[in-house]
Structure 1
Amino acid sequence: MKTSTKLALSGAVVLLAALLVMWRLAATPATPEEQIVRDRLEEIRLAIEGRDVNAIMDAISSDFDAFGYSPERLRIEIASAFRRGVRPHVRYTKPVINIIGKEATVSMRVEVWWEDQGLISRHEPADIQLKLRKEPARKWLVFPTEKWRVVDVEGIGIDGLE
């Protein structure tokens, strides 16, 4: 077999494999937006319990302005609490999600407690409402995508953060 024939066959196999992968990706049904929001809420919970400031802030919109905290101030407060050794825990009920276009409202009952210097602080469960917005983001630093980010929180007093 000639070299040019081998190259042509190899190219055809690679092209066929690429087409098969593209077809497979196109045939995969899209995840419903409500499930994407539920998954995002779980990511946020795990980031809080894992004390991952960057992951928490990735879930916060640059337009966030709840209880007088800008995203920058919120980052400082969260990082400061984690440096002091605060270990937060979060539990929430099944969220009620209302999505309209690129905006979502999530209502749920949340219970928060944390360990701080050997003491456990617990807040009574509270009904909160999160407002989320689908914002541009990057996947693997290259591919454009969108992520749901928290724009506002209602139902938590300032003492809920301290």
Structure 2
Amino acid sequence: MRFTTHLALAAPFLILLGSCVGPATRPASPAPAPAPRPAQAPVRPVAPAAPLASDWQYRPTAPGDWRWQSDAAMSIARFGPTAADPRLTIRCDRAARRISIIRAGAGQGTMTLRTSYGATSWPATATTASVPQTIAVRAAADTALDQMAYSRGKFAIEVMGLEPLIVPAWPEVSRVIEDCRG
């Protein structure tokens, strides 16, 4: 009886002792062979999506160069692929202290200047001369002209009915503005 009493008292401890043993170790199974990789289709270059109007600053500048000239009455900077084919002209009338921004092509309504500082709209008129143009005239003191001259690398001229024109902000632009403020 004494043995059964000790056995009855030890039984719970024997059950707990069995739970202290770790799991049985199994022999390591060999690693599965890697699955064969499916053949990859050739990667096709993806054409970039057309940029949104607000993303003008990420578009490239139009091809061409600025050319500057001056005389007693005027200071002029012309941008275009050739001297004979300007896409944008910035002209100072020194006597009137007025600057004309002339965009090739007859557009409608306003001319919008987009710079790294923001956007400004000016009233513009279209000419139907032998060479269609859209013209906006500003006082030489207009601060938007400074924004055009100091824009980070480029600025855009937009006229309804014409493709936006993005041009580099080179020193010729600043020269015309400074000549007009004289």
Which of 1 and 2 has greater Rg? 2
- Give the shorter-chain TM-score range: under 0.3
TM-score normalized by the length of structure 1: 0.23
More helix by share: 1
TM-score normalized by the length of structure 2: 0.21
